[in-house]
Amino acid sequence: MKRFYLGFLLAALLLAGVVSYLAYPHPDGLDTVAQEGCQVTEIDGKEQLVGTCIARNATDPATASSPLADYAVGGNPALTGVAGVVGVLVTFALAGGLFWLLRRRPAE
């Protein structure tokens, strides 16, 4: 089983570190629908939506200033793969710890 888990971890790290750079940079379907009816303009050096769309009422999430916000490290899009690798490692650590805590223990 250790070989399987190690192989799975290596495959996940490879995908997160390499394939993440091939991700489509434009908004997904939900963002596109929410922005229908608006135009993106620059006001005082910041991008803002002008028009009538749902996205005009949106605010930044509470995690917008976190180190891995926007799938990048420190907001640097060149570090997307690093953010993916960190995400995989954190997920594996949390899942592994949870599985270890909830494992069956031999009867005494």
pLDDT, one tens digit per residue, over 10-39 is: 999 999 999 888 877 676 788 888 888 998
Domain boundaries, the chain: 2-101
Q: What is the pLDDT of residues 61-97, one digit of tens each?
A: 888 888 888 788 887 888 888 989 999 999 999 999 9
Compare 60 and 7 and report the one with higher pLDDT: 7
- Residue 27: the pLDDT is 66
The b-or-e profile of 69-96 (16+ CB within 10 A means b, else e) is: eeebbeeeeebbbbbbbbebeeeeeeee
Residue 61's pLDDT is 85
pLDDT digits (tens, 9 = 90+) for 35-64: 889 988 888 888 888 889 988 888 888 888
Q: What share of the chain is helix, strand, coil (3-state, %, to 5)?
A: 55, 15, 30
Q: Is the pLDDT of residue 98 over 90?
A: yes
Residue 93 pLDDT: 95
Q: Identify the residue whose tokens are 């690093």.
A: 82
